[in-house]
Amino acid sequence: MPNTTFDRPDLSAFTRLDDLGLEVTGQRIWPDRAVLACRIVGEDRWCRRCGCQGVARDTVIRRLAHEPYGWRPTILHVSVRRYRCQGCSHVWRQDMTQAADPRAKLSRAAVRWALTGLVVHHLTVARVAQALAVSWNTANTAVLAEGERSLINDPTRFEGVRVIGVDEHVWRHTPYGDKFVTVILDLTPIRDRSGPSRLLDMVPGRSKQVFKTWLASQPDTWRERIEIVAMDGFTGFKSAAAEELPGARAVMDPFHVVHLAGNALDECRRRIQQELHHRRGRSTDPLYKARRVLHTRSCLLTLGQQYQILDLFSGDEHVALEVTWSAYQNIIDAYRSSNARGGKTLMHEEITRLTSTSMPSSLTELITLGRTLKRRAGDILAYFDHPHTSNGPTEAINGRLEHLRGSAPGLPKPHPLHHPSTPRNRRIQNPTTPPIMKSPITPDLTRPLRDTNSMSSLREVQTISKSTHILPIPSLTRLPTGGVLNPLKNTTNTSHNELLHQDPLQPPLEPRKSLISGDQSRLSYEAHRSR
């Protein structure tokens, strides 16, 4: 390890006051705060009116909140000298714009620390105000002004934008003012694999006119550079982009396409639930228990979830749900295809299948989904020609915006040492999770269970399902109700925990025998009574 050379301790450099043009002349430490006496390094003796040299008149103290060290509020007492001009008798103060804005209560370093803590470290405004020893309004006003100066008023933030994303976001949760805002993002770094996305602007309202007005306010040279506009299924954004950006290509986000298919799957499940049980789903209903499993990609299903899907689709009453689930999985497979051309072909075939005349009229959810996809087929298929142009970063930014909105009125976090104590009579149990038993036979659900190309009616689908073996799973015994017998079921007095941990390929455990004979147990009982 090389020898380290230490310099003389410098409190001005440690607190980074030398970047603000200040020098520490003294300090005073309290348990709840630290006060640093400072002076301005540069002198300002020349009059700003006539240019004559002034003489020192007196000194005033200006108090500024500085970035905290060790979460202890740091306050600066800056000695500002006042001068009087010998020519025109003008009085002025030393220039300290390098340290803080005029009439500001926070130094520039404190403002940058507050903005970084709010945006990067997810602190609340109340926690920032507490660390700076200022009021909530002072911290909030300073952060907003710094964010507008460094982010919104940056003249270079619109440079190099070629791909944009637009989406709406619920910003206001009160009945007053605009509820929605239109969020515009720069997706060029995502497309070029050069960095994260950037927030360009937030416009109050959600309509075609709002987005069109924002596009019209931009320079013509900027609008001519836009190549791709990623959006959701809202037709207002598409119309505005087509009118103001005629050379740009509209791309519908894959997330919203899969979301449409997922909504069709949920509506079909709820409809069948009402038709069979004439009520909403309960925790004991198979349809309700499988509501989350149905939205999982088929290749990501566990063995138990695969059995659950098979049991759900074993009867003829859930045929419509099975067909809708198959279409949902086909749309996901098209987007997850390793080849863009192959994914585009799969998506085009699925849209054609859903909009064909052979689709049974009883599958109302799939018919509605097919009409929606056919209306936006050009924008949906454009994604495969322009990969990595999804609206996913826009949704991520919406989540960050919602967090920042909720962090504004946040309360300070409690001290980590101030946790409520656990009652003595309360036991904290840490249950051990049994290991997952893997079977050598794993069903494959990566392909759709049934083909829907030749369906002319729902009765034909039922006929096909009865004559086709979906998945051959041997060594399973089905009950009359459609359940599966547990191969590990044992009639002995073996504990349930041991059954969970035993190997399924090994023979069942032997019944546990008593280690004490009858005579020994009788003698121990008599000895106990004699005591």
* Cα-based distances in Å from 414 to 330, 411, 418, 423, 508: 49, 9, 7, 20, 53
**What are 209's two structure tokens?**
């006119």
Q: β-pairing, 22-29 with 180-186? A: unpaired
Same domain? 178 vs 57: no
> Does 338 map to a domain?
yes
pLDDT at 457: 44
- The answer to whether residues 308 and 290 touch, using CB atoms and an 8 Å cutoff, is yes
Count Cβ atoms within 10 A of the Cβ of residue 266 and give its class: 0-12 exposed, 13-18 middle, 19 or more buried.
middle
Radius of gyration of the chain (CA): 35
Please tell me what DSSP assigns to residue 150: I
> Does 517 map to a domain?
no
> Does 438 map to a domain?
no
Same domain? 260 vs 243: no
**Does the pTM exceed 0.75?**
no
Same domain? 260 vs 339: yes
Same domain? 199 vs 319: no
Same domain? 102 vs 169: no
pLDDT at 530: 53
Q: Which of 252, 270, 288 is the last residue of a domain?
A: 252
The values of phi and psi at residue 508, to 5°, are -65, 155
Q: Which of 117, 151, 185 is the last residue of a domain?
A: 151
Q: Which of 252, 285, 318 is the last residue of a domain?
A: 252
Same domain? 215 vs 337: no
Residue pLDDT, tens place only, 312-345? 998 888 999 999 999 999 999 999 988 888 999 9
Residue type, 461: V
* Cα-based distances in Å from 110 to 17, 66, 101, 161: 11, 5, 12, 32
Same domain? 140 vs 111: yes
Which residues does the chain have with pLDDT short of 70? 1-4, 177-178, 409-531
DSSP 253-311: -HHHHHHHHHHHHHHHHHHHHHHHHSS---TT-HHHHTTTGGGS-GGG--HHHHHHHHH
Q: β-pairing, 72-85 with 34-40? A: parallel
Would residue 41 be called left, alpha or beta, if left means φ above 0 and alpha means ψ between -120 and 50 degrees?
alpha
Residue 190 to residue 213: CA distance in whole angstroms: 26
Q: What is the 3-state secondary structure (H, E, C) of 80-114?
A: EEEEEECCCCCEEECCCCCCCCCCCCECHHHHHHH
Residue 87 to residue 359: CA distance in whole angstroms: 95
Domain count, the chain: 3
> Alpha carbon 36 to chain centroid distance?
42
Residue 76 to residue 93: CA distance in whole angstroms: 17
Same domain? 241 vs 306: no
- The answer to whether residues 509 and 494 touch, using CB atoms and an 8 Å cutoff, is yes
* Cα-based distances in Å from 131 to 66, 118, 135, 141: 10, 12, 10, 16
Domain that holds residue 328: 255-390
**Partners of residue 54 on adjacent β-strands:** 85
How many other C-beta atoms are found inside a 10 Å radius of the C-beta of residue 431? 5
The set of residues, in sequence order, having a beta carbon less than 8 Å from that of 480 and lying 6+ positions away, is none
> Does 409 map to a domain?
no
> Does 511 map to a domain?
no
**What are 494's two structure tokens?**
């073996």
Same domain? 95 vs 186: no
Same domain? 243 vs 344: no
Same domain? 33 vs 56: yes
**CA distance from start to end of the chain:** 73
**What are 309's two structure tokens?**
């899907």
Same domain? 168 vs 281: no
- The answer to whether residues 384 and 252 touch, using CB atoms and an 8 Å cutoff, is no
> Does 367 map to a domain?
yes
> Does 440 map to a domain?
no
Nearest-CA neighbor of 470 among 449, 485, 452, 488?
A: 449
Which helix (H) or strand (E) segment holds residue 180: the answer is: strand 180-186
> Does 457 map to a domain?
no
> Alpha carbon 432 to chain centroid distance?
30
